Amino acid sequence: TKRRFPWKMIIQLLKIVLVTGQLVWFGYDRSSHVNFLIKSTVSFKHLFLQGWDPAYETLPYPAPLGIFAIYTIDDFYLKLNHAWKMYNEVWPNSIGSFTPNAKNHTFPPMYLCKTFFRDGWVNPRNGSYSLHNQPVEECIALTKSDCEFWNNTTNSTEYSYDIKEYLQKINKTIDFDSLVKMEFKFSVRSVHLKNFDLGRNEAECFDFNITILLDNSAYSGQMPVTLDADANPFICYEEDEIDDTEDDISLAFIVYDIIVIIFSVTSTILCSRSLYRAQRLRSDTVMFFKKQRGIEMTLDDRMQFLNLWFIMIIINDIITVIGSIFKIVLALIAGSFIYIPSTVDLYEMCGLTLGTGSLLVWFGVLRYLNFFEKYNILIITMKRSFPDVLRYLICALIIYAGFTFCGWVVLGPYHVKFRTISAASECLFSLVNGDDMFVTFSVITGNDNVYIWYYSRAFLYIFISLFIYIILSLFIAVITNVYDIVKHYYQHGGFPETDLS
Amino acid sequence: TKRRFPWKMIIQLLKIVLVTGQLVWFGYDRSSHVNFLIKSTVSFKHLFLQGWDPAYETLPYPAPLGIFAIYTIDDFYLKLNHAWKMYNEVWPNSIGSFTPNAKNHTFPPMYLCKTFFRDGWVNPRNGSYSLHNQPVEECIALTKSDCEFWNNTTNSTEYSYDIKEYLQKINKTIDFDSLVKMEFKFSVRSVHLKNFDLGRNEAECFDFNITILLDNSAYSGQMPVTLDADANPFICYEEDEIDDTEDDISLAFIVYDIIVIIFSVTSTILCSRSLYRAQRLRSDTVMFFKKQRGIEMTLDDRMQFLNLWFIMIIINDIITVIGSIFKIVLALIAGSFIYIPSTVDLYEMCGLTLGTGSLLVWFGVLRYLNFFEKYNILIITMKRSFPDVLRYLICALIIYAGFTFCGWVVLGPYHVKFRTISAASECLFSLVNGDDMFVTFSVITGNDNVYIWYYSRAFLYIFISLFIYIILSLFIAVITNVYDIVKHYYQHGGFPETDLS
Amino acid sequence: TKRRFPWKMIIQLLKIVLVTGQLVWFGYDRSSHVNFLIKSTVSFKHLFLQGWDPAYETLPYPAPLGIFAIYTIDDFYLKLNHAWKMYNEVWPNSIGSFTPNAKNHTFPPMYLCKTFFRDGWVNPRNGSYSLHNQPVEECIALTKSDCEFWNNTTNSTEYSYDIKEYLQKINKTIDFDSLVKMEFKFSVRSVHLKNFDLGRNEAECFDFNITILLDNSAYSGQMPVTLDADANPFICYEEDEIDDTEDDISLAFIVYDIIVIIFSVTSTILCSRSLYRAQRLRSDTVMFFKKQRGIEMTLDDRMQFLNLWFIMIIINDIITVIGSIFKIVLALIAGSFIYIPSTVDLYEMCGLTLGTGSLLVWFGVLRYLNFFEKYNILIITMKRSFPDVLRYLICALIIYAGFTFCGWVVLGPYHVKFRTISAASECLFSLVNGDDMFVTFSVITGNDNVYIWYYSRAFLYIFISLFIYIILSLFIAVITNVYDIVKHYYQHGGFPETDLS
Amino acid sequence: TKRRFPWKMIIQLLKIVLVTGQLVWFGYDRSSHVNFLIKSTVSFKHLFLQGWDPAYETLPYPAPLGIFAIYTIDDFYLKLNHAWKMYNEVWPNSIGSFTPNAKNHTFPPMYLCKTFFRDGWVNPRNGSYSLHNQPVEECIALTKSDCEFWNNTTNSTEYSYDIKEYLQKINKTIDFDSLVKMEFKFSVRSVHLKNFDLGRNEAECFDFNITILLDNSAYSGQMPVTLDADANPFICYEEDEIDDTEDDISLAFIVYDIIVIIFSVTSTILCSRSLYRAQRLRSDTVMFFKKQRGIEMTLDDRMQFLNLWFIMIIINDIITVIGSIFKIVLALIAGSFIYIPSTVDLYEMCGLTLGTGSLLVWFGVLRYLNFFEKYNILIITMKRSFPDVLRYLICALIIYAGFTFCGWVVLGPYHVKFRTISAASECLFSLVNGDDMFVTFSVITGNDNVYIWYYSRAFLYIFISLFIYIILSLFIAVITNVYDIVKHYYQHGGFPETDLS
C-alpha cells in the first residue's frame, strides 16, 4: 500500500524525544526528593539509635550483619535513654536542621507506648501462663521537665535521662514476660533546600513522625529495634523573595508538560481514527462475505482488523497524559501555586505513570522498524513465538508453583532465601537463570536438621537440572522452530494466505 | 474416546486449592515455631558467648568474618567466666523469659566437662609425646554457692565468677596440651507465646539444653567456640482460661485437615479403580494376542497400559494423607488434647510430607493440560526427551564424578568451596550453571602453593569449558531434535503406530 | 590466487610479539605508577580522616558499610581538628615520606573554606526560609602559629587543635542551616622511589593537592566526608649519580619502541599499497562493465574491492604508533631528558592507545586463520551473522532503552543498582546475562513503598523472562540458521556467485 | 565382533572402586594435615599481629576489608613491640602447644632485619634524592635479656618490650625514607596430635619459621603487614608406646595401596597387549594394501588402529601407581619406619597424582558406556564435535587474548579484577559465562578518571555482547549440527565407509 506523509510516525518519534526529556528531568527532581527522605531517615537512625552501625545501611541481602536487636534489659534502657536524650538535644546538636515539632513555643513531649497483656504472666519454671485478653497499648508523655533537675554543686539546671528511674517515680513497671512491644514516638521538622545548583532556591518542608519500635512479639529473647520515619510535607514559604527567575523556570516546565499532553492527545486522536476506519472496514467485509459468499468470518480473521499497535499507543498516550498532569500538579505545588497535603504519593504516582509511559513509547518504535523487511522477520518471529512461549510458560509455571510452595514450606524456616513465598519464588527464578547457586546450597549447613539438609540438596539439584537442562533448552527449541518457519515463508513468497485474500 | 463428567479432574483441581490452603496455614504456623527456636539460639549466643558479634549471624558463605574462636589462655577463662556469670544472672537480666531449669526450688548447677588424655603429655621442644589411651571426659558441677562470697566492705553477698581460681581451690588444672575439648552444659526453660495476633493466645514450652563447646581437637592453637541449644518441648498449661474460641479455631483446622484426607482417599480410590481396569484390559489383551495371533506382547506394549499419571497421583495422595495426619496430631498437641514429648521432629516430618505432597499435586495439573493439543506437544516433548536427557546425564555425571573427587582431594584443603565432597559437587554444579566463577578462581591465590595455583587454573578452565561449551550445548541439541521429531509427527498425522493398533 | 612470500603475514605476526612485549613492560611500569597514587590516597585517608576504616577500601558494590559521613556537630569538629593536627604533624609521624609543600622554609598554612548562603536562614519550626543569592565561598588560612600556645606547667610550646575555639577567637561562626559545604585544603609532597628491584633506582616526585570535603548540599542531616588527592608531578633529581646503567636501560626501551614504530609504519605502507591497487582495479572494472556491458556496478559489488582487514590493520598501526610515541615521551621524562608538567594524563593516553592497539593486533591474526578452510567456516559465520545480529540488537536495544529509562525513574530512588541511568543499564544488562538476580530483587523490601514493591517484581519478572526466554533464544536461532547456510554452501561448492564472476 | 569374558572391563570397574576408596581415605588424612598448617598460621596471626581481625580470614574476593597495613610510625612500633612480647610469652599463654625452638635449654633470640638503602636519603621538599646502590639487609638479634629489667618497687624481674627504646640504646635508628622492608624472624615448634577419633594416636611435629614482614617497598605511606609461617616437619616419637594396633592399621593401608598398584599394573599390561596387537595388525594391513593394491594408507586410516582409550588408561595407571607409591612412603613416614625431612611437598604430589588418576579412571568408564548404542550417539557426538569446538576455541581465544591484554593494561590499575594478567583472563572468562557482571562494571566509578570510565563501559559491553551473543551461540550451532549429522548416520545405517572396509 502507498503511504501518505507519515504524520503518525513523525508524532511518535517526536513523542519519544519529548517523553524521554520530560522523564529525565522528572527523574532528577524526584531523585533529589526521595534521596532527602531516605538520607534523613539514615540520619535519624544515627542520631536516635544507640549503637547504630553504618554496616546496617548496606544491601539487605547479603547482609553483612545480623539484625539490629537487643538481648538484655540493661541494653533496653540504654537504647531508650539515648533516644530520650537525643530528642531533647537534637537541636542544635544535629547537623541537619531538625527541630522538634514545637507549636506555641512549647517543647512537645515524646510518647513512650507499651503494648502488653494486662494481668498476663508467664512462669517458664513450670510452664504455666495466663493471657486473658488481647494486648492493650498504654502511652505516657515524656516532657522535657521530667528529666530536669537542679544540680546543687554546679548551680545549674541539668538533665538526667533515665527512663527506668522515671518509671519508678511514676509507679510504672515494665514486665518483659507480658510485653508485646515498646514504642517511642515523636515528631521532628526539617527543611529540604534543593535545586540551588540549578539556580533555583527551592525548599520542601516535612514533619517526620518518628517511631522507634522495640518488638518483643516473638518472645525469643531477641528484641529487634527499628526506626521508622513517616514524612508529611507541609507548606513552607520563602521570605524576602526578590527575583522571579524561579517562577519563570517552573513555568517553562509546565509549558513543556502541556506540549507533551498536546502531542499525546493528537497521537490518540490519529490512532483512534485509524482504529475506527479499520472497524468500519471490518463490518463492511463481514457483511460482504455473509451476503455474497454466505460464509461467516472467523474470529481470527476479524481480529486481523484490530491493530494492536494502535491500541498500545493509545494506552501509552493515556498513561503519559495522566503522568504529565501529575507532573504539572507537582510543579504547581513546588511553585506554591496550590497546596495539597501529601505530595509523597503524588511523586510515586507520577513516577509510575511517566515510567510506564516511556516504556511503551519505546516499544512503539518497533512498529516503524517493522516496515523494513529484514527487521520484520525478527519482530514477526518474536510475535509468532509469543503464543507458544506463553503456553509453554504456563506448563513451566505449574511445575514452578509446586516447587515454590514446597520450597517455602520445607526450607523456609532454615533458609533466608525461602522465608516468604515471594522470596522463594524470586530465589527459584534466579536459580533458573544461573544466579547465586552456591550460596543457596550453602545456607543450609550440616549443623541444621540433617533431613532438611538432604531434602534441600535433592530439591535444588532436581529443580535446577529440570529447569535449566530441559525447560530452558525447550524454549530455545521452540523459538528456533518458529524462526525457521518464518524464514521459510519469507524465502518462498510470504505467509500462507487466509480466506480474506 | 468420549469423556464422562470429569469427576477425577474436579477432585484434582479441588485438591490443589485445599492442599495449597492447608500448606500455607501450616507454613505460617511452622515458621513461627522454627523462628522462635532459631531466634532463641541467637539470643543465647548473645547472652552466653563473650565477644559474640552480629556479623556471625549472616550467611555461612560468603562469611564476613573468620570463625569465632579463641587463641590465648586468658581469653579461654574470659569466655568461661562470662558464661558462668550470665547463667546465674540470666533471670532477670535477659529480655526473653529464660529461667534456669529449677526443680524443687533449688538453683540447678551448670556442668563444666573436659575431655582429655589422662596422663597424656606433649613436649614440642624435642617432639616427644605420650598418649596412652583414648580421651576421657570429666565433669564438675558449678553451683551458685561456688561463686558466692561475703563482701566485708559492703556487708552483702557477692558473686565472683572466676573459673581459674575456683579450679585451683578444688585442686583441678587444665593442661592444654592434652585437652581435647571443654564443654559447658546447662539447661534453660522458656515459654513461646504465639498466634495472639490471630486472636489465639497459644503457648509452647521448651527446655533448652545448652552446650558451649570449646574445641581443641585440631591442636592448632585455634579453639573454635560454638553454642548449641537443643530444644525439648514440655507441656505448658494456661491458667484461668475463660473463653474457648481458641478451641473452636483449632477444631476448625482439624475439620479442614479431615476434608483434605477425605478428598485424597477418594482420589486414590478413583485412580486405583482406573489402574485396576487398565490391568484387567491388559491381561485380556495379552491373552487375546497369545491365543489368536500366537505372539507374546512386548514389555513396552504392556507398559502402555500402566498410566504413570495415576501412580503419581496415588503416591501424592498417600503423602498428603500422612502429612494431614501429622498436622492433626500437632493440632491436638497444641490444643493440649494429647501429649507427645518431642514435637520438634513431628513439625519437620509434617513439613516434608505436606511440601512434597503439594509439589506432586501441582505436577498433576499437567495431566489435564495434556488434553489440549498445543500443550500436549510441549509435554510430550518433555516426556520424550526425558530418556535421552537422562542417558546423557549419566555420561555427564561420570565425568562430573571424576572432577568432583579430583577437585575435593587436590583443591579441598586450600579452597573453602571444595572442603567436603558435597560442597565440591555443589561448587562444580554451580560453575556449570554460570555461578560464582571469579570467586572460585580467586580463592586460591599465588600465596598458596604454586603447583596448586596452576592446577586449580587448569582444572577450572577445562571443567567449565568442557561442561558449558560442549555438554550444555549438547542438551540443547538433544531437546531441539526431539522437539523437531514431535512437531513433525503432529504435522503428519500422529506418532507411528504400534503393534496394538 | 598464488601467494608470493608472505611479507605482510610475517610482519603482522612479528608485530604481535613486539606489541605484546611492549605492552607487558608498559603495563608493569604503569601499574607501579598508578598504584603509588592510589595507595598514597589510601594513606592520606588513614592519616587525615578521623574514624576511617579499612572496610571503606573494598569494592563499591556490594559495599560492606554505608557511606563515611557525620551526623552531629561534635563529630564535625572532631573531624576538622584531627585533620588540622595531622597536617601539622604529618612529618615525621607518617611512614610515607610526606612533607607539607614548604617553600622558603615557611610552613604553609592549610585552608578552611566554607561555602554558604550569605544572610540565608532556615526556620524549620514554621517552614520559613530566606535564600537570596547563590552560595558563596569564604576561606581562612590556618597557620601553625594559630594553634601554638605556651604551656606554663611544662614550660614548652604546645599545640591545641580546636577549630571551634579558634573560630570563636576570630569571630567566625558556622551556621549549619545555611552551610552548603566545608572544605579543608592543603598540599603535601612525596617522592616515589621505584624500579629498584629491577636494578634501576628511579624516582617520581608529586605534589598532592588534598581536599577534605564535608558536603552538606543534600541538607539531610547526613554530611558525607570525602578526601580527594590530586597528584601533580614535579621534576626531581638524583644527587651524586655515579653509574649510568639506568640511562642505558632507558635507551634500550626507547630503541625497542622505535622498532615497533618502524614495523607499524612498514605494515601501514604495505597495506595501503594493497588497498590502492584494489581501488585501481575497481575503477578499471567499473569502467569495463560500464563500457562493455553497459551496466552500473552496485555499491555492494564495489565494496567487494575494499578489504576491511587492511583498513583495520592500518587503524591499528596508527594507534600503535601514537601509543609508542607517548611511551617514548614518558621514557624521556623518566630519564629527565625532557620535562612536561602533567605526566598523569600521558600515562592514561599511552595506556589507552597501546591497549587498543594490542586488541586490534590480535584481531588481525584472524585474517590469517581465514586461509584455512575449516577455520574459514567459523569466521565466515561470524561475519555473515553480524548484520543479522546487529539488526536484531537494534530491536532489542529499543525495548532495552524503554526498560532502562522506566527502571531508572521508577526504581532509581529505592534501588542502588538503578540510581543512575548508566547503572540501570548495567544492571539490566547483567540481569539479561544471568547475574545478580536475587540481590536485585531483594534490594527493594516490603518496608519500602508497597506500590514500588509490586512494580519492581512485575518489572523484573517481565524484563528477565522477555530477554532471556525470547530474545536470547532468538540470537541462538539466528546464528544457528546462518551456520546452517554457510555449512550448506561449503558442502555444495561455495557461495552463490555474484555478477562479477 | 564377539566378546570374550570382559576381563579388562571388570578390572577397570574394580579400579574405580579401589581408587576412589584410596582417594577418600587419603583426602581425609591430607585434609587434617593441611588444616593443621592453615589453622596454625591463623593462630600465629592472632597471637603475633597486633590488631588482627577475623574479617581478614575470609575470602580474598570480595574482601570485607582493605589490606592489613600500618600508616604511622607509632603504629609501626606498636606492631613490633607486640610481636616481641608475644614471642617471649607464647608459652604458656597460647592455647596451642607452641614453644620457641629452644636448643640446649637456651631461649632463642628473634631477629629484627631491616632492608634499606645505605647512605640513601630523600628530600621531598625539593624533590632531591640519593640512592647509590642496591638495598642491603641488616639484622639484630633480640634476646630475652634485652628487655629484662629489675623493678625496684615490686622487687622482681620484669620485661619491657620497647623496640624504639632498645634501638636507641644500641645506637640504631630506622630512617623510613630509605627503608625498603622490615622483617621479624623467629621459629616456633608445635606438635599436631591427629586421628585419635579413629583410634590411632598419631602425631606430626613441625618447626614453623615465622616471618612478619612490614613492606615499605611501594613508598606510598602504606606499609602492608603480613605473616608467613613456613612449616618444616621433624620427627617426633611416642614414649611408652604399649599397644600396636596403630601399626596394624598403617599396615592395612599399605596393603590396600599395594593392591591398587597390582590392579593398575595388570590393567597396563592388558591394555599394552591390545595396543601391541592393533599395531601388528596395522603393519600387516599397510603391507597388504601396499603390495596387493599398490596404495599407501593415509595417516588418518592408520590412526584408526590406535585406540586412544587404551592410551588414556595406561597414562591413568602410571599416574595412579606413582600416587600410590607416594602414599606408601607417607604411611611409612607416619609409622616412623623411614624418615624424610620435607613431607609437605610429598603430600602435595601425592594429592595431585591420586586426584588426576581418579579423574581419568572415571573418564575410562565412558568407554564401556560406548558399547550401548543409545549412549554411543552422545559420546560420538562429543568426540566428533571436539575438533570443531577446538578449532572454534582457537578463533575465540585469539580475540580473547586481545581483550585480556587490553583489559589488563587499560583497566588493571583501576580494577581489582584486572590487576594481573591471570586475574584479567579469569574475570573475562567469568563474564563470558555470566558471572559477576554488575560488580565488574561497578568497580570503576565516576570518581576515577573519566576516560577510563567510558573505556571500561565500551570495553565490557562490547566484549560481553560479542562473546555471549555471537560466540557462545555459535558453539551451540556447531554442536547441534554435529548431533544432527551423527543422528542422521545412525538412522541411515552407520557412518560413510572408509577405504579400509
Supply the DSSP string of D403-423, one letter for each residue: HHHHHHHHHGGG-GGGSSHHH
Would you state the pLDDT for residue B497?
Answer: 44
Which of these ranges, A380-394, B339-353, C198-212, D111-125, has the smallest mean pLDDT?
A: B339-353
pLDDT class of D342 with cuts at 50, 70, 90: low
Task: Evaluate the omega torsion of the peptide bond into residue B62 and state whether it is cis, within 30 degrees of 0.
Answer: yes
Contacts of A191 in chain C (CB under 8 A): 122-124, 127, 129, 177, 219
Q: Mutation target for A interface from B103, B237, B433, B442: give the one with most A CBs within 10 A.
A: B433
Cβ proximity of B477 and D480 under 8 Å: yes
Q: What is the mean pLDDT of residues D234-252?
A: 70
Task: Map grid coordinates 485509524 to a residue.
Answer: A274
> How large is the C-alpha radius of gyration of chain D?
32
Contacts of D178 (CB under 8 A, 6+ apart): D116, D117, D120, D121, D122, D131
What is the rounded distance in angstroms from the CA atom of residue B14 to the CA atom of residue A494? 47
Q: Across all residues in chain C, what is the average pLDDT?
A: 84
Reading chain A (501 residues) residue by residue, the pLDDT tens digits are 455 677 778 888 888 889 989 888 888 888 888 889 899 999 999 999 999 999 998 888 888 888 999 999 999 999 999 999 999 888 888 998 888 876 666 788 889 999 998 888 888 888 888 877 788 899 999 888 877 888 888 888 888 888 998 999 888 888 888 899 999 999 999 988 887 776 677 788 888 999 999 999 888 999 999 999 988 888 877 776 555 566 677 788 889 999 999 999 998 998 899 889 888 888 888 888 888 877 777 777 777 777 888 888 899 999 999 999 999 888 887 766 676 666 567 888 888 899 999 888 888 888 877 777 777 777 888 888 888 888 888 888 888 999 999 999 888 888 888 988 999 999 999 998 888 888 888 888 877 678 888 989 999 999 998 888 888 888 888 888 888 888 888 777 655 544 443
User: What cell does C223 get?
Assistant: 554530611
Residue C487 pLDDT exceeds 60:
yes
Indicate yes or no: CB of D35 within 8 angstroms of CB of B220.
Answer: yes
Give the Cα separation of D339 and D327 in Å (integer).
14
Q: C-alpha cell of A400? A: 514452578
Cβ-defined contact of D476 to B477 (cutoff 8 Å): yes
Can you say how many angstroms the Cα of residue A364 is from the centroid of all Cα atoms in its chain? 26
What grid cell was written down for C264?
Answer: 607499524
Q: Determine how many CB atoms are found less than 10 A away from the CB of residue B219.
A: 27
In a mutational test of the D interface, the residue from B133, B220, B444 whose CB has the highest number of chain D CBs within 10 Å is B220
SS3 D446: coil
Given the C-alpha cell 501429622, which residue does it identify? B326
Residue of C nearest to B477 (CA): C480
- Residue D464 CA to residue D478 CA, distance in Å, equals 20
The CB density around residue A346, as the number of other CB atoms within 10 Å, is: 16
**Cell numbers placing D139:** 639484622
Cell of B372: 489440549
Q: Tell me what pLDDT residue C103 has.
A: 66
Residue D246 to residue B139: CA distance in whole angstroms: 29
Q: CA–CA separation, A243 vs D36, rounded Å?
A: 76
Measured on CA atoms in the order C369, C374, C377, C378, is the torsion positive or negative? negative
Q: From A468, A469, A444, select the one nearest A456 (Cα to Cα).
A: A444
**Pick the residue with more confidence: B375 or D156?**
D156
Q: Which three cell numbers stand for residue C281?
A: 582495479
Q: What burial class does residue D80 get, using C-beta atoms within 10 Å of its C-beta: 0-12 exposed, 13-18 middle, 19+ buried?
A: buried
Q: Do D54 and B74 touch (CB under 8 A)?
A: no
* Contact in structure between A262 and A7 (CB atoms under 8 Å): no
Q: How far does C484 lie from chain A, in Å, by closest CA?
A: 11
B436-455, pLDDT tens digit by residue? 888 888 888 877 678 888 98
Q: Looking at residue C43, what is its pLDDT?
A: 94
The predicted structure's pLDDT at residue B458:
92
Q: Which of A193-202, A466-475, B45-54, C459-468 has the lowest mean pLDDT?
A: A193-202
* Distance between CA atoms of residues D58 and B65, nearest Å: 6
For the record, the C-alpha cell of B426 comes out as 555443589
Contact C55 D72 (CB under 8 A): no
Q: How far apart are CA B249 and CA D20, in angstroms?
A: 57
Joined together, the cell numbers standing for residue C210 give 588534598
Q: Which residues of D touch C192 (CB under 8 A)?
A: 219-220
**Residue B366 burial (10 A CB sphere; 0-12, 13-18, 19+):** buried
pLDDT tens for C271-316 read 899 889 888 888 888 888 888 877 777 777 777 777 888 888 899 9
Contact B427 A438 (CB under 8 A): yes
Question: From the centroid of its chain, how far is CA B420?
Answer: 17
Give the number of other CB atoms < 10 A from CB of residue C404: 25
pLDDT recorded at residue B100: 85
Chains that touch C (3 or more CB pairs under 8 A): A, B, D
Band (pLDDT 50/70/90 cuts) for residue D498 is very low
Calculate mean pLDDT across residues C59-64: 84
Q: Do C20 and D445 touch (CB under 8 A)?
A: no
E strand or H helix at B159:
strand B156-159
The neighbour count for residue A25, using CB atoms within 10 Å, is 14
Contact criterion met (CB below 8 Å) for B67 and A93: no
pLDDT at A259: 93
Pairwise CA distance, residues C331 & C335, whole Å:
6
Instruction: Find the CB nearest D434 among A64, A434, A476.
Output: A434
| CB neighbour class for C272 (10 Å; exposed up to 12, middle 13-18, buried from 19) | middle
pLDDT greater than 80 at residue B330 = yes
Residues 6+ positions from A22 with CB-CB distance below 8 Å? A256, A257, A260, A324, A327, A354
B129 has a pLDDT exceeding 50: yes
Short-list C309, C299, C348, C312, CA closest to C327 = C348
User: Which residue carries 633470640 as its cell?
Assistant: D109
Q: How confident is the model at residue B501 (pLDDT cuts 50, 70, 90)?
A: very low
Separation of alpha carbons B52 and B46, rounded Å? 6
C-alpha to C-alpha distance for C488 and C482, rounded to whole angstroms: 10
Q: Name the residue in chain C with its Cα closest to that of A388.
A: C470
Give the model's pLDDT for residue D89: 87
Please state the φ and ψ torsions of residue B202, each to the nearest 5 degrees: -100, 165
The mean per-residue pLDDT over the stretch D270-287 comes to 87
C-alpha cell at B319: 503423602
| Chain C positions with Cβ closer than 8 Å to B | 64, 434, 476
pLDDT one-digit tens code per residue, D187-239: 999 988 887 776 677 788 888 999 999 999 888 999 999 999 988 888 877 77
| Chain B partners within 8 Å of A437 (Cβ) | 426, 429-430, 433, 435-436
Site of grid cell 561475519: C383
Which residue of C lies nearest to B433 if distances are taken between CA atoms? Answer: C434
Comparing B286-300, B384-398, C224-238, D311-325, which segment has the lowest mean pLDDT? B286-300
Give ∠ CA D37-D42-D46 in degrees, rounded to 5: 145
Report angle CA B27, B32, B35 to the nearest 5 degrees: 115
Per-residue confidence band for D310, with pLDDT thresholds at 50, 70 and 90: confident
User: Cα(A357)–Cα(A326) distance, rounded to whole angstroms?
Assistant: 13
Length of chain D: 501
Residue C173: closest CA among C162, C183, C163, C160: C163
Q: What is the mean pLDDT of chain D?
A: 84
User: What is the nearest CA distance from B52 to chain D, expressed in angstroms?
Assistant: 12
Q: Tell me the chain A residues in contact with residue B315 when contact means C-beta distances shorter than 8 Å.
A: none
**Average confidence (pLDDT) over D105-116:** 86
Cα–Cα distance between C210 and C222 in angstroms, integer?
22
Least confident of A280-284, C24-28, C489-493: C489-493
Which residue is listed with cell 609461617? Answer: D229
Instruction: Give the pLDDT confidence score for residue A244 in this predicted structure.
Output: 58
Query: Chains near B, with 3+ CB pairs < 8 A?
Result: A, C, D
Partners of D433 on chain B (C-beta within 8 Å) are 434, 437, 464, 468
DSSP code per residue over D10-70: HHHHHHHHHHHHHHHHHHHHHHHHHHHHHHHHHHHHHHHSTT--GGGGS-STT-SS---EE
Give the pLDDT confidence score for residue A103 in this predicted structure.
Answer: 66
Query: Cβ–Cβ of B451/D191 closer than 8 Å?
Result: no
Task: For residue C413, give Cα distances in angstroms to C71, C409, C436.
Answer: 21, 8, 19
How confident is the model at residue A104, as a pLDDT?
64
C-alpha cell at A206: 516535612
Smallest Cβ–Cβ distance between B434 and the set C64, C434, C476 belongs to: C434
- Does residue C499 register a pLDDT over 60? no
Cell numbers given for B263: 478428598
**C125 CB contacts (<8 Å, ≥6 apart)?**
A99, A102, A189
Digit-coded pLDDT (tens) for A47-102: 999 999 999 988 888 888 889 999 999 999 999 999 999 998 888 889 988 888 76
* Cα of C37 vs its chain's centroid, Å: 14
Q: Do A99 and C124 count as a contact with CB atoms less than 8 A apart? A: yes
Give me the numbers of helices (H) and strands (E) for chain C, helices first please: 12, 12
Nearest CA-CA partner of A418 in D62, B34, C412: B34
* Residue in this structure with the C-alpha cell 527543611, named with its chain if needed: A191
- The C-alpha cell at B165 is 581460681
For cell 527575583, name the residue.
A243
Task: Specify the pLDDT at position D500.
Answer: 42
In angstroms, the Cα distances linking A451 to B124, B230, B348, B349, B421 are 43, 16, 8, 9, 18
Q: What integer is the mean pLDDT of C2-29?
A: 82
Describe chain A by its helix, strand, coil percentages, rounded to 5.
60, 15, 25
Contact D306, D272 (CB under 8 A): no
Beta carbons within 8 Å of D102's beta carbon, 6+ residues apart: B125, D108
- What CA–CA distance (Å, rounded) separates A326 from A318? 13
